[in-house]
Amino acid sequence: MIQICMCPTEEADLSDFASAEEDNGGSVSGGRNLNETNGNWLSLSSNNIQEARLKAKAKRRLRKTSSRDSGRGDSLSDNGDAVRGAPVTPASPKSKLMDRKSRCGKGRGLPKKGGAGGKGVWGRSGEVYEPQEVDKKDPNYDDAQENCVYETLVLPLDERDFEKTVTPIVQEYFEHADTKEVAEQLSELNLGPMRSEVPLLAVSLALEAKTSQRELTSRLLADLCGPVLTCGNLESAFDKLLWELPDLVLDTPGAPQLVGQFIARAVSDQILSESYIDGYKGRVNCEYTRAALDRAAVLLKMSLGGLRMDNQWGAGGGQKPITQLIKEMNLLLKEYMLSGDGAEAERCLRDLEVPHFHHEFVYEAIVMVLESKGDKMFEMILQLLKSLSASSVITVDQIGRGYERVYMDIADINIDVPRAYFILEQFVDKSFSLGIINVKLRDYCPTCPLPPFLYFW
């Protein structure tokens, strides 16, 4: 008898093979197609055993992955090979992982907030927000809310902040001369009890300023009376000025006369009452206060005789006509020739406030030298121009323009003054030696042309 010995694994494979045969309609006991002779089992061929093993192994692999790959359409062929069928849509496809639409099924697929959302976005372009109405059904609603008036609270200025705030406003006014701008700036401040300090500060700054700026200060006080200040504020300011005159004289010796002129101008502009000066009669012990009141009273009496109070400070700088400036410069030079006081001439030239017109002063001075008949004026004008050039009252540019104007007009001057070319050459050489002009301006000086009959020699 031939016996076949099998290992356990082979038995399991054969059992699977047997079950596979049962599935195919065969039976192991009766209908089995095995070779049997005289009741003895014949040995199976090695090919059949190997084929049974492969089928059993494929079945085991199919059972393990059936739960994971059930939706992928995998199946086995007749010989046990896996066959991929038509793909089945997975439960969570990879194409929907980056989808930003709502997964809960809500919404219509429109952009968020109607396209007005996102970082740094305040709303749709062109959208205007209307005032929100108060909801009377709100539990926190209060009837007093509708009667509330919201205003910006500006704290009143104290003594420390007043001078720091108002002083720049007055100094800028001296540059642009626009009283409306000053009124607007002061109306935005909460002056409170410091309102009467505005005229006091403006006049105090004008005492140390130029004549044209004092005229601007008088106009400012007249324009501020009404919109910003009252007549009572101005009276209080001038009372303090008269009281502080002993201290103001230390910095400005002519303060009493100047304050008197401010008072007279204020009375003439009708921002001070006419009885303001009479109210101090018999009650003044300070000599400076008495001098200021006397000056104001004299000016008011002169106004009754025809004096224009609106022009008492004079017109400063470029506000004067050119003919008047030329006349004042000629008077200044004549006064200097009589007194010989260069410092006074320099002060008067500064008071004219026309640094852009100083070339006219140089021109008139040189013409006076050309028309003179002695050496005294020659030397005095040279010293004056040297001092004015050294102190930078007259700039190098203005000196050069004055000399060039004389060079251009020397031919006409020579008609009235035959020795004009000769005197001009001497004056130019002396000016160069004193450092008033440079080499280029000296060489530019014209020379006297020869008479026609001398060209034949």
Q: Per-residue pLDDT tens for 319-345?
A: 678 888 899 899 999 999 999 999 999
404 in Cβ contact with 444 (< 8 Å): yes
Nearest to 434 by CA among 390, 366, 386, 363: 386
Q: What is the reported pLDDT for 373? A: 82
Of 178-192, 249-263, 439-453, minimum mean pLDDT range:
439-453
Domain ranges within the chain, ordered by starting residue: 159-304, 322-454
Long-range contact set of residues 178-185: C-beta below 8 Å, sequence gap at least 24:
179/219, 179/220, 179/223, 179/224, 180/223, 182/220, 182/224, 183/223, 183/224, 183/227, 183/228
HSE, side-chain direction, 13 A CA sphere, residue 357:
20
Quickly state the pLDDT bin for 48 (edges 50, 70, 90).
confident
- pLDDT exceeding 70 applies to what percent of the chain? 71
Of 117-121, 164-168, 301-305, minimum mean pLDDT range:
117-121
CATH architecture, domain 159-304: Alpha Horseshoe (1.25)
**Structural element, H or E, at residue 142:** none
**Structural element, H or E, at residue 106:** none
Antiparallel, parallel or unpaired: β 74-76 and 40-41: unpaired
Q: In CATH terms, is domain 322-454 a member of 3.30.1330.10?
A: no
Q: Higher-confidence residue: 12 or 403?
A: 403
- pLDDT exceeding 90 applies to what percent of the chain? 40
Give the global pTM: 0.51
What secondary structure does DSSP assign to 260-325, as a single string?
HHHHHHHHHTTSS-TTTTGGGTT----HHHHHHHHHHHHHHHHHHTT--GGGSS---GGGS-HHHH
Whether 322-454 and 159-304 are alike in CATH topology: the answer is yes
